[in-house]
Structure 1
Amino acid sequence: MLFMDVSTWDPSDRDRILEHFAKMEIPEGIDVINQWVDLSGNRYYILYEAESSEAYGAFNLPWSDICMIDSVPVMETSEFMQLLPKYKK
């Protein structure tokens, strides 16, 4: 399943965030598609695929002590549009 995460942190935690990024290891079962940094600071976006809830947890839990993660399951619009007829009333 695809997820778009938006991570935010307090500016005072910048150095801790940079340390985390330097040590970050992508767990098995996670395929990072792309990542972006907000140039105005304190926000990071990442699009990735998680094979399981265990992989998802292994990827996000190590960050839970220093940032807030808003995680949203997403799919491409073309795939979503194919699902709509199945749920039309």
Structure 2
Amino acid sequence: MLFFDISTWDPQDNEKVIEHFKNLRPPAGINVINQWVDLNGGRYFILYEAESNEAYAEFNIPWSDVCLIDSVPVMESTDFIKLMISKGL
């Protein structure tokens, strides 16, 4: 399943966040597709695929001490339209 996460943090936690980024190693079952940083600071965006609930949790829990993560399950719009058509919606 694809997830688009928006992580936010307080400016005073910048150093902690940088340390987390230095040690970022996605666990097995996580495929990072792309990632972006807000040039104004305090936000990070990532699109990734998680193969399981366990991989998803293992990937996000280590950030809970410095970030608030807004995680959104997403699907490409063309795939969504095909799914809705196949369901008769």
TM bracket (short chain): over 0.9
SS, match of residue 49 in structure 1 = strand
Whole-Å separation in 1 of the counterparts to 2:31 and 2:42 = 23
- TM-score w.r.t. length of structure 2: 0.96
SS, match of residue 39 in structure 2 = coil
RMSD: 0.7
| Percent of aligned pairs sharing the same letter | 62
Q: How does 1:41-80 map to 2 (within 5 A)?
A: 41-80=41-80
**Unaligned stretches of 5+ in structure 1?**
none
Residue identity in the other structure for 2:75: M
Aligned residues: 88
SS, match of residue 41 in structure 2 = coil
**Unaligned stretches of 5+ in structure 2?**
none
Whole-Å separation in 2 of the counterparts to 1:35 and 1:17 = 15
Q: How does 1:9-88 map to 2 (within 5 A)?
A: 9-85=9-85, 86-88=87-89
1:77 is displaced (CA, Å) by: 0.5
Whole-Å separation in 1 of the counterparts to 2:61 and 2:88 = 34
1:87 is displaced (CA, Å) by: 4.7
1:25 is displaced (CA, Å) by: 1.2
Whole-Å separation in 1 of the counterparts to 2:23 and 2:50 = 20
